[in-house]
């Protein structure tokens, strides 16, 4: 059982690292604020979540696992709230998405 837990934890750590790298590349390559914000949220939720899961499996049932769980719950609740607040503030300031369709004004006869 110990070998299985070690294998699952390393798979989780590697996948979390891959998601962080893919999200960082997306953060650099995306064209506008909203798509970059989406890439950053992928890093926070999938990347950090899988890394924390792998670390919890490595630590076993200890106080360290409880602290990592609390950190994961904090990220799980705060990250979407912060992302929503940023997107809303950008929309209120008038920042339009780059890939959004243009608004058509009705033509007058």
Q: What is the pLDDT of residues 20-68, one digit of tens each?
A: 998 888 888 888 888 888 888 878 888 899 999 999 999 989 999 999 9
**Whole domain around residue 60: which residue ranges?**
2-92
Domains in the chain, number: 1
What is residue 19's three-state secondary structure?
helix
Residue 109 pLDDT? 57
User: Residue 109 domain-assigned?
Assistant: no
Rounded distance, CA 52 to CA 4, Å?
Answer: 18
Q: What is the pLDDT of residues 57-99, one digit of tens each?
A: 999 899 999 999 999 999 988 988 888 899 899 989 988 887 6
Cβ within 8 Å of residue 34, ≥6 positions away: 87, 90, 97, 98
Residue 67 pLDDT? 94
User: Residue 100 domain-assigned?
Assistant: no
């Amino acid at each position: 059982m110990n070998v299985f837990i070690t294998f699952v934890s390393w798979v989780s750590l590697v996948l979390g690292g891959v998601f962080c790298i893919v999200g960082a590349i997306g953060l650099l390559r995306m064209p506008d604020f909203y798509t970059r914000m989406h890439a950053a949220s992928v890093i926070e939720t999938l990347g950090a979540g899988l890394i924390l899961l792998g670390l919890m499996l490595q630590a076993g049932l200890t106080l360290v696992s409880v602290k990592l769980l609390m950190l994961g719950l904090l990220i799980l609740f705060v990250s979407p709230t912060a992302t929503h607040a940023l997107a809303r503030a950008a929309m209120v300031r008038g920042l339009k998405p780059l890939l959004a369709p243009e608004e058509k004004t009705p033509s007058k006869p």
